[in-house]
Structure 1
Amino acid sequence: MDEISFTPRELDVMSILWRSGSGTVSEVREGLGEDLAYTSVLSALQTLEEKKFVRHEAEGRAYRYFPTVEPETAGRSAMARIREAVFQGSAELMFAQFVSDRKLNRDELERMRRLLAERLEDES
């Protein structure tokens, strides 16, 4: 499962499953906060299951869906696609764009600095 790619709707559904750990169609529908048809949410979950990103277990008359891919794994795949498509493969350009975000507070920037220092130590 090298390439992990979600449509915007699939990503919304996965986000709910990652936060809650699992969900029925009704629970996911409620979590989306939009007026979507039950069948639309069911279709998204079935597609995600076909892609092997979720699995289900019977729970009474309903199914409970569980994510089978971790958000960190999906994030690595998404970041790699963005790096290639937007930043011509340059992690440096991508990082520069990320840290230039004025919404990052000092604490976040300090944690990022520590992560960079640790990563540089690993390379030594």
Structure 2
Amino acid sequence: MPSFTPGELAVMRILWEQGELKPSEVQQRFPEPIKNPALRSYLKILLEKGHVTRRKVGKAYLYKAVTPRQKAFRSTLSELIETYCEGSAKSLVMNLIRNENLSEKELLELKQLADRGPPKKGKRK
């Protein structure tokens, strides 16, 4: 799955949160002012990449995210691990622990999670 540009990600976030919308409704919710041609370009690219679908209702098109948020997250996370952590999830976690100033409570929760071990097959939460 290709990664999103910041503008594409902003559109996807809106569609994930709001569901099916007209371009004008996406534009109203966009985090910063965006001109209509730029927004339509993002929608066109996302449509071509297969991340959104559209359907015509009257004269307007409604756009809807089809790539699930969790799938996009997993793909981005994998890319992050490969690019910045030499393929090591452990390196990613260690960097997060060192750089995020986690509280003692948060560190304890992580330790308890690690002590439980990997989830058993068929019993994922």
Both proteins in one fold, TM over 0.5 = yes
**Cα distance in 2 between the residues matched to 1:117 and 1:64:** 47
Could you say which residue in structure 1 is the equivalent of 2:60? 62
Q: Does 1:88 align with 2:75?
A: no
- Letter aligned with residue 54 of structure 2: H
* Matched position secondary structure for 2:25: helix
Q: Which runs of 4+ in 1 moved over 6 A?
A: none
How far residue 116 of structure 1 moved from its aligned partner, in angstroms, is: 4.1
- Normalised by the length of structure 1, the TM-score is 0.82
**Shift in alpha-carbon separation, 1:69–1:113, aligned structure 2, 3 A:** farther
Could you say which residue in structure 1 is the equivalent of 2:97? 99
- Letter aligned with residue 15 of structure 2: L
How far residue 96 of structure 1 moved from its aligned partner, in angstroms, is: 1.3
* Matched position secondary structure for 2:11: helix
Of residues 59-68 and 44-53 in structure 1, the stretch that sits farther from structure 2 once superposed is 59-68
Report the identity percentage: 30
Question: Size of the alignment, in residue pairs?
Answer: 120
- Letter aligned with residue 85 of structure 1: T
Rg larger in structure: 2
Deviations 1:12-57 (A, max 9, x none): 1101111112221111111113221111111100110001100001
**Cα distance in 2 between the residues matched to 1:118 and 1:47:** 43
Could you say which residue in structure 2 is the equivalent of 1:41? 39
* Matched position secondary structure for 2:96: helix
How far residue 117 of structure 1 moved from its aligned partner, in angstroms, is: 4.9
Structure 1 unmatched ranges of 5 or more: none
**Shift in alpha-carbon separation, 1:49–1:119, aligned structure 2, 3 A:** farther
* Matched position secondary structure for 1:122: coil
- Please say if residues 17 and 66 of structure 1, whose CA atoms lie closer than 8 Å, have aligned partners that are also in contact: yes
Could you say which residue in structure 1 is the equivalent of 2:27? 29
CA-based RMSD of the aligned residues comes to 2.4
